[in-house]
Amino acid sequence: MANEDAKSVVIPADIEEIVAAPEDAAKPEAVEKVEQEVSLAAQRGLQDWVPKTELGRKVMKGEVTSINYIFQKGWTILEAEIVDFLLPNIENDIILIGGSTGKGGGIRRIPGRRTARMHKSGRRFKTSCMAVVGNRDGYVGIGMGKAVDFRLAAAKAAKDAKLSIMPVQRGCGSWECGCRTLHTIPATVDGKSGSVRVKLMPAPKGVGLTVSDEAKKVLGLAGLKDVWIKSRGQTQSRVNHMHAVFNALQNLNTKKFSDVAREKCAIKAGAALG
């Protein structure tokens, strides 16, 4: 009997009558409402926060007052409340990773991706959600969450994104610009996830983010304003596409720049005034 319960069948997400997300989740107003609920829940959780790690206790006591200091020491953040405490202006956004059949064919993008597995008692659904957090000034994180309810999945995704937050190196790496402000990336960098390969390239001031709408959410919350991108592979898989963009930003942090390049491009990791 236990073996029968353990067997499950994953049903593809493009079968609308089985796995389409709730109609209210596909509306922009509903998505904004969920994002606000997640932010308010984080604020309420911060008021009742009881630290469980040594780093959390140091932050609560005021011994650690800057998230820059945490990354300089190489400490690992294991509590999302640490990020809420040190970055009170952090924002969150939801990546539209789901899809259902649209009018006349094609895909209607929705924020939640629902799958169903077959049990002897019937279908059991689970919703996955992808969120990105950042302060629009050099810090960004991305995460996934799964739950039966969409709002629970969104809250889990936001928490996971805060645990993966990292500083982003910014500067003026475009040879066409040379303005020495933190509006783009300092050098070309590659990223990959699954079959998706992306290349981020510095752009001159005023070009904007010439990327997909979902990638704009990631780069915008990181504090970047002008970036060119080249993508190849199955970019319709938005989960892999966003992870590839995030991987490129991670690889950017591993690049070593000389003192001359740092001075010329005004390269800085993290907040502009951190």
Least confident of 41-45, 128-132, 133-137, 180-184: 41-45
Residue 38: its pLDDT value, please?
Answer: 74
> What whole-number percentage of the chain has pLDDT above 70?
85
Q: 28-47 and 150-163 are packed helices; what angle lies between their axes, rounded to 10 degrees?
A: 60
105-153 pLDDT, tens digit each: 677 788 888 888 888 888 888 889 999 999 999 999 999 999 998 889 9
Q: What is the mean pLDDT of residues 171-191?
A: 90
- Paired with 144 in beta bridges are 130
CATH 3.40.640.10 fits 168-269, yes or no: no
3-state secondary structure of 22: coil
Q: Angle CA(189)–CA(161)–CA(212) in degrees, nearest 5?
A: 50
Over 50: is that where the pLDDT of 216 sits? Answer: yes
6-32 pLDDT, tens digit each: 433 343 343 333 334 444 444 467 677
- CATH code of the region 16-166: 3.30.160.20
Residue 64: its pLDDT value, please?
Answer: 93
Closest residue by Cα to residue 93 from 135, 132, 63, 147: 132
Q: Which residue has the tokens 């970036």?
A: 227
- The structural domains of the chain, with segments of one domain joined by +, span 16-166, 168-269
Report the C-alpha gap between 216 and 222 in whole angstroms: 10
Over 50: is that where the pLDDT of 81 sits? Answer: yes
Which pTM was predicted? Answer: 0.82
